[in-house]
């Protein structure tokens, strides 16, 4: 027995800023990051570790894998979420991306020598700030979508004159 569900429009339910970040800004940044980490893995390693770990050419495959995961994010957000205007699907995809975000952020903390080093904002480099500014807004938007914060409910959409 198959059940049908009503598809709720993600574009009509989410604020413009959420859509701008997820559908335009992050796919661009993820693609640019994938190109950078593929073309200059040593520069990426230096930026993520504050130069504390020397780059090893034998580890280049790891950077290729990182680039692949960023291209996957770019594809999901730049193509899939644009093709399927379905809030339930967006929530599922954002949940999956948050799993990756947790590990990425944990790796970022590890890269600078642990939580005590990372939490000392006075010691942050330009690369640390760039990493956080290019990561945190996307993570926050995914959390907000998954939790439904700022997302219009069905009754809100029904009473919105712009959506009639």
Token code pair at residue 76? 């999901």
Q: What pLDDT band is residue 161 in, cutting at 50, 70 and 90?
A: low
**Token output for 2:** 């198959």
- DSSP H/E element including 120: none
What pTM value is reported for the model? Answer: 0.87
pLDDT tens digits, one per residue of 66-112 = 999 999 999 999 999 999 999 999 999 999 999 999 999 999 999 99
- Taking residues 121-128, report their average pLDDT: 96
Say if residues 145 and 91 touch (Cβ distance below 8 Å): yes
Quickly state the pLDDT bin for 153 (edges 50, 70, 90): confident
Portion of the chain with pLDDT greater than 70, in percent: 92
Q: What's the mean pLDDT in 115-134?
A: 96
| Mean pLDDT taken over the chain | 93
Res 129 pLDDT > 90: yes
Helix extents (H) in the chain: 10-13, 16-20, 26-39, 41-49, 60-75, 81-83, 87-111, 115-119, 126-133, 136-147, 154-159
| pLDDT recorded at residue 4 | 81
The 10 Å Cβ neighbour count of residue 105 is 16
d(CA 34, CA 89): 25
> Does residue 131 have a pLDDT over 80?
yes
Q: Whole-angstrom Cα distance, residue 11 to residue 53? A: 43
């Amino acid at each position: 027995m198959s059940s049908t569900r009503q598809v709720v429009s993600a574009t009509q339910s989410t604020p413009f800023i959420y859509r701008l970040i997820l559908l335009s800004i992050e796919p661009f940044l993820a693609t640019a990051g994938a190109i950078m980490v593929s073309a200059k893995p040593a520069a990426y390693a230096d930026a993520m570790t504050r130069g504390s770990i020397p780059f090893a050419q034998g580890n280049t495959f790891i950077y290729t894998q990182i680039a692949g995961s960023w291209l996957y994010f770019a594809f999901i957000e730049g193509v899939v979420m644009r093709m399927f205007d379905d809030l339930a699907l967006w929530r599922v995809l954002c949940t999956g991306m948050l799993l990756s975000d947790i590990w990425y952020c944990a790796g970022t903390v590890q890269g600078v020598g642990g939580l005590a080093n990372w939490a000392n904002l006075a010691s942050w480099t330009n690369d640390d700030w760039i990493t956080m500014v290019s990561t945190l807004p996307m993570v926050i938007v995914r959390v907000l979508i998954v939790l439904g914060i700022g997302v219009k409910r069905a009754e809100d959409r029904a009473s919105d004159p712009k959506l009639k």
